[in-house]
Amino acid sequence: MGRFGPDSDRTAAAVHEKRLWSRLMELATHGAMPDGGVTRLALSEADIDARRLIARWAESLQAEVLADDAGNCFIRYAGRDPELPPVMAGSHIDTVPGGGKFDGAYGVVAALEVIEAMQQAGVRPKRSVEAVIWTNEEGARFSPGQMGAAAFAGTRSVDEILCVKDRDGVRVRDVLPRMLAALPKARMRSLGVPITAFFEAHIEQGPELEAHATQIGVVTGIQGRRSFIVTVLGEAAHGGTARQSERKDALLGAVRIIGALEASVLENESDARLTIGTFSLEPNAPLVVPGCVRFSVDLRHPENATMKRLGDLVPAICARHRGACAVEVVENANAPCAYFGEPMMQFIEAAVDRLQLSRRRIFSLAGHDSREIVKIAPTGMIFVPCKRGLSHSALEEAEPHDLAAGARVLAEVVIAACDA
Ligand SMILES: [Zn+2]
């Protein structure tokens, strides 16, 4: 996996806690909300401004900026042999509406910190190091997420993702050129270039590390997910005159379906997670029987076999409980669980031990870009604690020294992998 030594140790030692923290706080001004949270939807003005800021940081580090057709951005610090596939580290900088300052942003800023620490320590490894910003991890604006990473890994085609629309009908294709225009010095590169390894540092988004007073989580894998868009088509009618027995009420159909999904999916499956995160009805008027309802179904389970079985239930349940309405079910994401493997986990654990930090293994219930990248390269994830496990919230909080500890582990593994 890699070789630890004086170069990786010196880089880790040069990680600067205050610099890391102040960059995170500066990044959080883009999309800042009055309550302390951040709304920086993928390819929004705030996302574009944040990337512009990161490109400025890259310039001050004399690092090259690259981009690809999925809008992924790479800050490249060339190694002694620039022909070798680079070692990448990074995450995403888009947020959910009302998200926090650390989810994703930490992994990108930590990767930049590794590059700066390398320079300060006078380390130039054999392979190049690239800090990466994956486009649209959250999928809050353009669903589903992990879009840039999936395109990079070849799971989704560029043609398909460019056509994805947000709620206002704006396509990825319409806004991506604006983002690229904001980075005039970025060199375009083809998607999915070979990489040696990928590392993602991230806040845990769960309570385990804090509860066990542990500094580093070594991630074993990432829970899979299947998601669906369900459309229930009824018939709009006058709320006062249409006979109850003859109505095709799309809302009542949707309510029956959701109740049945809850009963069937969650029955005897305490590890399953079911979320109806979006819901709309038409015409949405007080005196009109709803003619059309559309909602999302997000389904997760830590085991692939159960995940498959539960997901396969969704279309059948929708059909069985639709009543007089028609129903259409479209599956828009099917990402099996990812496992990072024993050699990668032991490699990260060796770095943690080298730095004399505490550690435990954690299976990630939240999705990450790494779930895509592990399909094409050795991939590892490093978790740091966050307060009360809160994330996707303005209350998301992390301690500067915990973030710096995670960045030091990242520095060790990145530099060690560069000299593999
Ligand atoms: Zn994230």
CA of 325 to the centre of ligand 1 (A): 38
CA of 238 to the centre of ligand 1 (A): 45
**Residue 419 pLDDT more than 90?**
no
Mean pLDDT, rounded, for 204-218: 97
Query: Alpha-carbon distance 323 to 257, whole Å?
Result: 9
What is the sign of the dihedral through the CA atoms of 382, 388, 389 and 391? negative
DSSP 354: H
Residue type, 400: P
Q: What is the mean pLDDT of the chain?
A: 96
Q: What is the pLDDT of residue 420?
A: 82
Residue 348, classified by CB atoms within 10 Å of its CB into exposed (0-12), middle (13-18) or buried (19+), is buried
CA of 24 to the centre of ligand 1 (A): 14
Mean pLDDT, rounded, for 143-171: 95
CATH (residue range 224-335): 3.30.70.360
Mean pLDDT, rounded, for 129-150: 96
CA of 368 to the centre of ligand 1 (A): 6
What is the sign of the dihedral through the CA atoms of 184, 70, 55 and 137? positive
CA of 414 to the centre of ligand 1 (A): 20
Q: For residue 55, what pLDDT band results from cuts at 50, 70 and 90?
A: very high
Contacts for 211 with CB less than 8 Å, ≥ 6 apart:
none
The owner of tokens 């829970």 is: 223
Mean pLDDT, rounded, for 335-345: 95
Class of the CATH domain delimited by 6-223+337-418: alpha beta
pLDDT tens digit string along 252-302?
A: 999 999 999 999 988 888 999 999 999 999 999 999 999 999 999 999 999
Query: Alpha-carbon distance 131 to 134, whole Å?
Result: 10
CA of 283 to the centre of ligand 1 (A): 35
CA of 321 to the centre of ligand 1 (A): 35
Angle between helices 45-60 and 17-27 (to 10 degrees): 150
Residue from 47, 271, 356, 321 nearest 178 by CA: 47
CA of 305 to the centre of ligand 1 (A): 25
CA of 104 to the centre of ligand 1 (A): 4
CA of 202 to the centre of ligand 1 (A): 7
Q: How far is CA 384 from the centre of its chain?
A: 16
Query: Alpha-carbon distance 11 to 124, whole Å?
Result: 10
Mean pLDDT, rounded, for 152-177: 96
Q: What is the pLDDT of residue 294?
A: 97
pLDDT tens digit string along 223-241?
A: 999 999 999 999 999 999 9
Query: Alpha-carbon distance 309 to 321, whole Å?
Result: 19
Q: For residue 131, what pLDDT band results from cuts at 50, 70 and 90?
A: very high
CA of 191 to the centre of ligand 1 (A): 21
Q: For residue 99, what pLDDT band results from cuts at 50, 70 and 90?
A: very high
ipTM of model: 0.97
Element (H, E) at 225: strand 224-233
Residue extents of the structural domains in the chain? 6-223+337-418, 224-335
> For residue 201, what are the β-bridge partners?
382
CA of 288 to the centre of ligand 1 (A): 41
CA of 253 to the centre of ligand 1 (A): 34
Mean pLDDT, rounded, for 33-53: 97
CA of 230 to the centre of ligand 1 (A): 26
CA of 82 to the centre of ligand 1 (A): 29
Mean pLDDT, rounded, for 72-92: 97
pLDDT tens digit string along 301-326?
A: 999 999 999 999 999 999 999 999 99
Contacts for 93 with CB less than 8 Å, ≥ 6 apart:
27, 40, 47, 50, 51, 54, 104, 105, 108, 133
CA of 1 to the centre of ligand 1 (A): 25
CA of 258 to the centre of ligand 1 (A): 28
Strand-pair category, 197-203 with 359-364: unpaired
